Amino acid sequence: MGSEPIERRVSYIGDRLKGSRCPFCGREYFRPKKYCGNCGRKSLGKMEDIDFFYEKGVLETCTIVREPTNRFRRLGAYFYGVISFHNGKVRVPGRLTDMIIKDDELIDPSDFEGREVVPRFRRRYSVDKSDIIPMISLAFTFADEYYPYQQYEIIKPNKEYDAPGIVGYGVYISKFRIREGKMERSVPFIDEDAITAAVESGKLALIHSGVDHRLIGKIYVGSESNPYAVNPIASKVAQVLKLGEEEKTEGVQSVDAVDTEFACKAATSMFKDAMALVYYPKDSIEYAMVIGADNAQAAPRGEPGGELDFFVGFGGAAFIFGMKDVIAEIEGWYSCTSDTPDFWRRDLEPYPRHGGRFTGRPAYFKHILKAGRKLMEKMNLKPNDIDYFVCHQPNPTFPVRAAAALGFKPEQYMPGLQVSRFGNTYSGSSPIGLAAILDQAEPYKRIMIVSYGSGAGSDAYLFITTNQIKDKRKRQKFTVKYQVENKFINYVDYATYRRFKEGL
């Protein structure tokens, strides 16, 4: 049994790796301290807040843990060591994550010592199913491998737009994949889940946009695989990424945070809400963040709902909306909804069920085609007027057929088609496709995104890129393409994939 007050205190510091710096002598601490050991009384109350969440450290010494303590057992063998930050001003313990170490593998710690590492937000260890899930950022990966080090630099915006739009975005896909036939799908490491993917993608969106995290007034997280039935992912994201002004004495963020749920359109549905908030004439907010993240669930093959197991992926995409330094302005939107039960998951059930062929024409296609056609009609546009098209991608064939039915050609829909690389990332599916397009689109290109959520409904949006899209691109190392073509991708077998998906 965990203790909730202890959990709050540990995660408040450990999720973000918070510390203090003495303004007089520069001494640094991991874990905030009210005064400096060198400078004593004069430093009392004057210590500066620092954190190591966006920093890179050095793995100074390490060893291999082959017999973890009980709560870490499901991790298998892992590396554990001392990580230093700021040239040794601060040292913390940490484990390396995203590594599969074989039982008979001979290891020389000196092969790893001295290498640069970046902190990752992960599950801390196993707990009972009914307990609070403990998280921590004392999990690290090598800075020159799959997940690169990227500096978060707050940039003062210099241009205000007439219409709201996307200011920045980030996509987080895990390093692990399963390959079956021509299809590759992303697999979480065992310490990942929808919460970690949401935080990591949000972090990447902040890095890409250069937006001051304190100016984000609302955060929406859409997911259908929140490991909690009650307890929002959005509050975790807000706390870890310090969204909104921080009320330091209480450790409270001045931000509105909420989780949304509508199968795979939980995130896209909120795009318009986010844009409405930043455009709102009275007491508007500067920025709003929308994240779609899922550890897409599927029953094992052979069981009811097991057909989904061939297609599910893992990952998240985060978008920041605002009026300043916009990279893609909104042109219009259209949504439609009907009560169509094609895919559902009852409370307390671990895996969703699926309506078989019923999920096709009367569900997916009906809503996507309706939303796509209506929006083009409303905006008086033809497929030829649109440069890129992306829609929800539950499998490799549906999105191609939908795009063709709407009149789009492969050069319009292929850039956004990522399902055969990552699988169906549920709430993250069409947003990741949108991000893949934004990664490569030139200025003044028109993009149409049509999501689909079972239950059922679709959201269609039209964006037009601005010339600032190119300026910001250099701040995005972790592009969709980078994650697809990365040489550090680790392919796992079916049993490992199932085990990793179940989590710690």
Partner 1 sequence: MGESPAIIGIGRTKFGEHYELDPEDLIDEAGLMALDAAGIERRDLDACYISDYLLQVTNKIGLEEGFMSQLLEMNIPIEKMRSFSSALSNACNAIEAGKYDVVLVGGMEKMTDRWSKIRDNLMLLVDHWSYYAGGTPETSHELLLREYIKTYDIRGEDQHKLMTTLAYISVKNHRNALKNEYAHFRREIDINRVFAARKNRVLGLYDFAPISDGATALILASPKKAKEYTDNLIYVLASSLATDFISYPSRSYRTGFIANKIAMENALKMANISLDDIKLLEVYDQSTVLEMISLEDLGFIKKGAAWKKLYENFKDYKGFYEIDGRQLYVNTDGGLKADGNPLGATGGAQIFEIVKQLRGEAGQRQIDPDGDLIYGCMQEIEGFGTKVYVHILGREKSGK
**Which of 208, 213, 354, 392 is flagged as catalytic?**
392
Whether 504 and 125 have beta carbons less than 8 Å apart is answered as yes
Helices (H), 380-408: 398-405
Q: How deeply is 487 buried, as exposed, middle or buried, from its count of CB atoms within 10 A (0-12, 13-18, 19+)? A: exposed
Closest among 323, 389, 334, 316 to 169, alpha carbons compared: 316
Which residues in the 85-114 window bind partner 1 by CB under 8 A?
Answer: 90-95, 103-107, 109-110, 113
Which residues in the 427-466 window bind partner 1 by CB under 8 A?
Answer: none
Whether 365 and 342 have beta carbons less than 8 Å apart is answered as no
Nearer to partner 1, 87 or 249 (CB): 87
* 213 carries an active-site annotation: no
**Which of 184, 192, 224, 286 is flagged as catalytic?**
224
- Smallest distance from partner 1 to CB 86, Å: 14
- Tokens (6 digits) for 474: 């250099």
- Smallest distance from partner 1 to CB 80, Å: 5
Whether 174 and 192 have beta carbons less than 8 Å apart is answered as yes
Nearer to partner 1, 107 or 163 (CB): 107
Please give the Cα distance from 388 to 449 (Å, whole number). Answer: 8
Whether 473 and 345 have beta carbons less than 8 Å apart is answered as no
Nearer to partner 1, 28 or 286 (CB): 28
- Smallest distance from partner 1 to CB 477, Å: 26
Whether 297 and 490 have beta carbons less than 8 Å apart is answered as no
- Smallest distance from partner 1 to CB 227, Å: 19
Please give the Cα distance from 326 to 344 (Å, whole number). Answer: 36
**Which of 192, 264, 329, 391 is flagged as catalytic?**
264
Q: Cα–Cα distances in Å, from 402 out to 67, 88, 161?
A: 51, 55, 33
* 224 carries an active-site annotation: yes
Nearer to partner 1, 66 or 301 (CB): 66
Binding to partner 1 by CB under 8 A, coded x per residue (else -) over 135-164, reads -x-xx-------------------------
Whether 293 and 260 have beta carbons less than 8 Å apart is answered as no
- Smallest distance from partner 1 to CB 117, Å: 12
- Smallest distance from partner 1 to CB 104, Å: 7
Nearer to partner 1, 91 or 353 (CB): 91
- Smallest distance from partner 1 to CB 77, Å: 9
- Smallest distance from partner 1 to CB 193, Å: 18
Which residues in the 361-380 window bind partner 1 by CB under 8 A?
Answer: none
Q: Which residues are within 8 A (CB) of 384 and not within 5 positions of it... i.e. 6 or more apart?
A: none
- Pick the stretch among 131-139, 238-246, 388-396, 404-412 that binds partner 1 (CB under 8 A): 131-139
Which residues in the 22-81 window bind partner 1 by CB under 8 A?
Answer: 30-31, 60-72, 75, 78, 80-81
Phi-psi region of 281 (alpha: psi -120 to 50; beta: other; left: phi over 0): alpha
SS3 370: helix
Does 1 help bind partner 1 (rule: CB under 8 A)?
no
DSSP 204-231: HHHHHH---GGGEEEEEEE-S--S-SSS
DSSP 464-485: EE-THHHHHHTT--S-HHHHHH
Nearer to partner 1, 50 or 447 (CB): 50
E strands within 188-325?
Answer: 216-222, 245-247, 252-254, 256-260, 287-295, 314-324
Binding to partner 1 by CB under 8 A, coded x per residue (else -) over 459-478, reads --------------------
Length of the chain: 504
Please give the Cα distance from 496 to 498 (Å, whole number). Answer: 5
Q: How many chain residues touch partner 1 (CB under 8 A)?
A: 43
Contact pick of 52, 53, 121, 125 for partner 1 (by CB under 8 A): 125
Nearer to partner 1, 17 or 234 (CB): 17
Nearer to partner 1, 133 or 469 (CB): 133
Q: Which residues are within 8 A (CB) of 108 and not within 5 positions of it... i.e. 6 or more apart?
A: none
- Pick the stretch among 82-90, 339-347, 407-415, 424-432 that binds partner 1 (CB under 8 A): 82-90
Positions in the binding site for partner 1 (CB under 8 A): 10, 14, 30-31, 60-72, 75, 78, 80-83, 90-95, 103-107, 109-110, 113, 124-125, 134, 136, 138-139
Active-site amino acid positions = 224, 264, 392
